Amino acid sequence: MADPFPVQTLASQRAVGILYNTYTTAKSVLNPQDLVALPVNYLQVGSKYQIRARGGLSNIVTTPGTVTFQVMMGSVVVFTTGAIQMTTTANTLLPFDFDVTMRLDSSGSGTSAKFLGMGKLAGIGLTIGSGANPTVTDTFITVPVTAPAVGTGFDSTVSEILDFWVGFSSSNAGNGVQLYDYEVLRLL
């Protein structure tokens, strides 16, 4: 018997992304051709989606600041990791691995639709607090770095673009991100 709820790939990055640096306000790091528009009324309460992103992250030595990863519906932040401290050891495009599962808690027009998400972020250039590289080779951080809560509301009755954004607290050519792989899976 066939699985009544097969996992479905909604989006997948087909080529390495552009290296973005020297900015602070979060912005899309996906290749434009890999963005996915979710159809009108596609999202149903209880639906689950897994967003996976893998890439390289660079940071400077002096005051590297923080990095924030966001899942977006159009211009609305539906999930954020919160600010993650970068290490004070300079790194150039060290790997990171972002994996979050989001469940639609409510749907509707205006700002009625909301996701609840939790996941993990791993990266050599990330720390739980400020300071130099951790003594382990990778740091796994449960995200969000605050108590889990539903994200900002959006309109699920219209077509929305699902996107992945990254922002830095410190604008510098040495603070950068490049996406190597990205996918969105519909789990239920």
Q: Answer whether residue 15 is part of any domain.
A: yes
Q: Residue 177: which domain range?
A: 8-186
∠ at Cα 80 (74, 86), nearest 5°?
125
pLDDT above 50 (res 77): yes
- Give buried/exposed letters for 117-133 (b at 16+ CB in 10 A, else e): bebebbbbbbbeeeeeb
Q: Answer whether residue 54 is part of any domain.
A: yes
For residue 104, give both structure tokens: 């639609």
Q: Answer whether residue 19 is part of any domain.
A: yes
Q: What is the pLDDT, as a whole number, of residue 131?
A: 45
Predicted confidence (pLDDT) per residue in 83-98, tens digit: 998 888 899 999 999 9
**% residues pLDDT > 90 (the chain):** 76
Q: Answer whether residue 41 is part of any domain.
A: yes
Q: Answer whether residue 179 is part of any domain.
A: yes
How many domains are contained in the chain? Answer: 1
Q: Answer whether residue 124 is part of any domain.
A: yes
pLDDT above 70 (res 139): no
Q: What is the reported pTM?
A: 0.91
Please name which of 148, 124, 127, 149 lies closest in space to residue 137, comparing C-alpha atoms: 124
For residue 72, give both structure tokens: 């977006």
Q: Answer whether residue 1 is part of any domain.
A: no
Q: How far apart are CA 17 and CA 166, in angstroms?
A: 13
Q: Answer whether residue 3 is part of any domain.
A: no
Q: What is the pLDDT, as a whole number, of residue 188?
A: 86
